Chains A and B, each alone.
Chain A
Amino acid sequence: MAYALQQLINGVTLGMIYGLIAVGYTMVYGIIGMINFAHGDVFMIGSFLSLIALLGLSALGITSVPLALALTLLFAAAIAALYGWTVERIAYRPLRGSFRLAPLISAIGMSIVLQNFAQVSQGARSKPMTGLIPGGFGLTIEGFTVQLSYVQISIVATTLSMLALFTWLVTRTSLGRSMRACEQDLKMAGLLGIDTDRTISLTFVIGAALAAVAGLMFLLYYGVIDFYIGFIAGVKAFTAAVLGGIGSLPGAVLGGLAIGLIETFWSAYFSTQYKDVAAFSILIIVLIFMPTGILGRADVEKV
């Protein structure tokens, strides 16, 4: 019972991170009908940017943890947003209107470029970081102590605030309305005077910024990153987006939670070694039996 509660806490924390990444996949898919395979790598870049910022801030003598985290979040989100913008500009926009597989191939290429860039510039070995937010709450039930760490609380709180901010943006602001208009009918959006290219760029920018926040959360949670985390986390977040119904924003978050929970419970009760296999198997099963996902719409397929 207590053990399961512990897994629930861990699973939700992890699931929030996946959900934050999944939002980026689902947004881009919604608007241009393309899977941005480089998105996971932008997440990885965001994680490295966070590490660099944290080390830099500590070298500058900033000791306040909340201040350091806030500055790191802004820095990583801003620079990752620039990456997102650049990826769209050089790898996808020139291919708009060409055959369907072209941007997909370009996306895979972009993913490889980013991975190699990180590997060459940061080295192939894992980068550890000492725990920035130690401690937490402990509750002993039936001889088992359930841990709720401050890191987990921070991750869930930050992720929820990001999602709230993002939901407000999409549902209440003019930019959000333009994004939804482009998602529902790109051509009509143009006919109403919306700069559709700019709106698509901003979608990439926002998705990348959210991924960078996820990158920071990942770094805080695991305390170690390498150039390959983008691929693994990317595939899981993509699975989350598909599971939730690609194109659906609440679906992405729900899918993320589901994947986080499945992965955690799987590791806890079956095998840690096969935890990634579990996520990938789910992807395949969902794609075969439930291609529109939990909250997906049948009409989401772009022509």
Chain B
Amino acid sequence: MTALLSLAGVTAYYGAIQALKGVDVEVNEGEIVTLIGANGAGKSTLMMTICGSPRARDGRITYDGQDITQLPTHLIMRRDIAQSPEGRRIFPRMSVYENLLMGAHGRPAAEASETMEQVFGLFPRLRERRLQRGGTLSGGEQQMLAIGRALMSRPRLLLLDEPSLGLAPLVVRQIFGAIRELNRTTGLTVLLVEQNAFQALRLAHRGYVLVNGAITMAGTGADLLARPEIRAAYLEGGH
């Protein structure tokens, strides 16, 4: 079986600084794959490079059998890929409702309102807040909105960058529960970046470890969880 998403030898730069040094990652249909690594390892860069911003300088990114390496960002995102990016990036001066509508950009209105009902089912909090401005939501609500907005395009592949950052444990559990639920019931494929390596590895089918812009380890969630070097670096307090 060929992977839904595959990166082969991908490099990315910010000016002269190399942030990705030849990364190979594969995500199969229906999988939850997590990417763990310390701050500044290049996890967010990897997520953004998949979306063409920054653009990969070398290597190849294929999605659903097609080369998307050179595609403009908006065309990549129109191929049922969605990203809930680092920092949530909610539109602060739009209502929750409008933020969600933006996620369904370019899709029929009837489908959008149907999907919005599903999102409200997943995060009832958003329904209560639907007329409130995005910028006035709490951190947890914004995260739900960011994920909900990404789901509005009915993606096959969801890229989630640090959905648990800065949230209370209860909210984190709720969000991770929602991811697992979506994966199980709809077969949604997820690439998840997390600081919280323990929870991420327990949730994911497979994981990759990124160090200084290069993949150093890969394996199943359980396999990585059991490795002493992972425990030392990412699970027992230290980064």
Contact = CB atoms under 8 A, between A and B. Distances in A.
- Determine the interface band of chain B, counting residues with CB < 8 A from chain A: 20 to 34
A174 interface: yes
Given A177-B102, A178-B105, A190 B92 contact: no
A95 interface: no
A185 B92 CA distance: 9
A181 B94 contact: yes
A185 B153 CA distance: 18
Contacts, number: 56
B93 to A, nearest CB: 6
Given A174-B105, A177-B98, A193-B105, A188 B74 contact: no
Interface in B64-99: 72-74, 77-78, 83, 85, 89, 91-94, 98
Interface in B42-78: 51, 53, 72-74, 77-78
A272 interface: no
A194 to B, nearest CB: 6
Given A184-B93, A184-B94, A193 B106 contact: yes
B91 A185 contact: yes
A177 B100 CA distance: 11
B221 interface: no
- Determine the interface band of chain A, counting residues with CB < 8 A from chain B: 10 to 19
Specify which of A178, A188, A190 lies most central, judged by the most chain B CB atoms within 10 Å of its CB: A188
Nearest to A187: B53
Q: Main SS of the interface on chain B?
A: loop
Nearest to A188: B89
B93 A196 contact: no
Interface in B116-158: 149, 153
Contacts of B72: 195
Interface string A185-214: 101111111111000000000000000000
Contacts of A180: 91, 93-94
Given A180-B93, A191-B83, 14 more contacts: A177-B101, A181-B102, A188-B85, A190-B53, A190-B74, A191-B73, A191-B89, A192-B77, A192-B105, A192-B153, A193-B77, A193-B105, A193-B106, A195-B74
19 contacts: A174-B105, A177-B94, A177-B102, A180-B94, A184-B91, A187-B53, A187-B89, A191-B53, A192-B103, A192-B105, A192-B149, A193-B74, A193-B78, A193-B106, A194-B74, A194-B102, A194-B105, A196-B73, A196-B74
